[in-house]
Amino acid sequence: MDDERKRKLASLRSRVRSQIRSGVDTSSSPSKENGLLQKASSKLKEQIIDETEDESLTISLSRFETEFKRFASTNEDNETLRSVAALCILIGAVLGIVSGMMQLTGNPAELMENSQFFAIDDDVSISGIVLYEDGNEFGGVSIKIYDLNTGKSYGEEITGSNGIFLLPDVPQRPMRMEFKIDGYETVNIVFIPDQATYHYITMHEGEATREIGEITDSNLNQVVVVGTIVGIFSILFALLGVHAYLEVKRAKYYRRTMYIAGLSMFSRGLIFVGPTFTLIGMAFLTLTKKQFRDQNSDNDV
């Protein structure tokens, strides 16, 4: 490697010198020639640094590849590594079963609040317009929005002369939005924020409180049905992971074991933790594939 680098540097220096000689006029002053030499030297140093960095990166990658191949060849008959792969796949399956059970036994309101199946975006903007009874825009109305379960405030605004309001970055969970101004009824809206909904609020004179909207039983029933389906499928895919664990321990059919382990990742154990363990186990399996009976049969043929 050192001889090759010296050869490249010598070739580069000779090329730069030839370019300087051809580019410098015989009538040029010594100071101009020195300036060109300095520029050429600086460019030469930059090229040398770039080439050195590229060579160092190439050496590091080749060394990593060599070490990985050595590790793979050393452990292809290591049954302990296959046991570690089986354990990782089993952990992913167990986490999938836990997630499925949590989905089946969860509170419907919490499922609606937290599940990705009932929210398009994490946060949305709530917009609308406040009107008088005659349909004209109502300015100066105080608007506050709270989490229905925790009471946490997620914003406050006063409508302008056009009556329009906008509350940004509101989570998609059950909320209570309050409209209040002296001399008019207080309006409370209970709803789940939706990016597409534009709210029209009409204020009536009086001192009462008017409630609008509710989290209906039909919505909760829909959440329960979908949550149950998701939980059942999570458990079924997790059971495939348990089956993959047993296949790894038997070490008979490599490809079938890999397919089953891959399908088990759909159990989504704790979102990404379970699939990560399964992937690690599958990676270890690729290093120990020769321990499977069908792979040994292929090699014998």
| pLDDT tens digits, one per residue of 247-272 | 999 999 999 999 999 999 999 888 88
Q: Classify residue 183: in a domain, yes or no.
A: yes
Among the candidates 200, 215, 230, a domain finishes at: 215
On whether the CB atoms of residues 278 and 90 are closer than 8 A, the answer is no
Which pLDDT does position 289 carry in this prediction? 87
Do 205 and 80 lie in one domain? The reply is: no
Which pLDDT does position 287 carry in this prediction? 87
pLDDT digits (tens, 9 = 90+) for 55-101: 666 666 667 667 666 766 676 777 888 999 999 999 999 999 998 88
Q: Classify residue 25: in a domain, yes or no.
A: no
Give the Cα separation of 156 and 138 in Å (integer). Answer: 16
Give the Cα separation of 159 and 184 in Å (integer). Answer: 15
SS3 call for 43: helix
Pairing of strands 186-191, 164-171: unpaired
For residue 73, the cross-strand partners are none
Counting the structural domains of the chain, the total is 2
Among the candidates 215, 242, 276, a domain finishes at: 215
Distances (CA, A) of 282 to 40, 96, 153, 269: 54, 16, 46, 16
Using the predicted structure, report yes or no on whether residue 275 has a pLDDT greater than 70: yes
Comparing 23-32, 106-115, 183-192, which segment has the lowest mean pLDDT? 23-32
Do 151 and 274 lie in one domain? The reply is: no
Do 149 and 282 lie in one domain? The reply is: no
Do 278 and 292 lie in one domain? The reply is: yes
Q: Classify residue 42: in a domain, yes or no.
A: no
What is the domain range of residue 268? 76-106+220-300
Q: Classify residue 175: in a domain, yes or no.
A: yes
Closest CA to 275 of 82, 105, 283: 283
Do 187 and 259 lie in one domain? The reply is: no
Which pLDDT does position 186 carry in this prediction? 94
On whether the CB atoms of residues 167 and 201 are closer than 8 A, the answer is no
Using the predicted structure, report yes or no on whether residue 104 has a pLDDT greater than 70: yes
Q: Classify residue 111: in a domain, yes or no.
A: no
Using the predicted structure, report yes or no on whether residue 24 has a pLDDT greater than 50: no
Q: What is the CATH number of the domain that holds 152?
A: 2.60.40.10
On whether the CB atoms of residues 235 and 96 are closer than 8 A, the answer is yes
Do 285 and 162 lie in one domain? The reply is: no
Q: Classify residue 39: in a domain, yes or no.
A: no
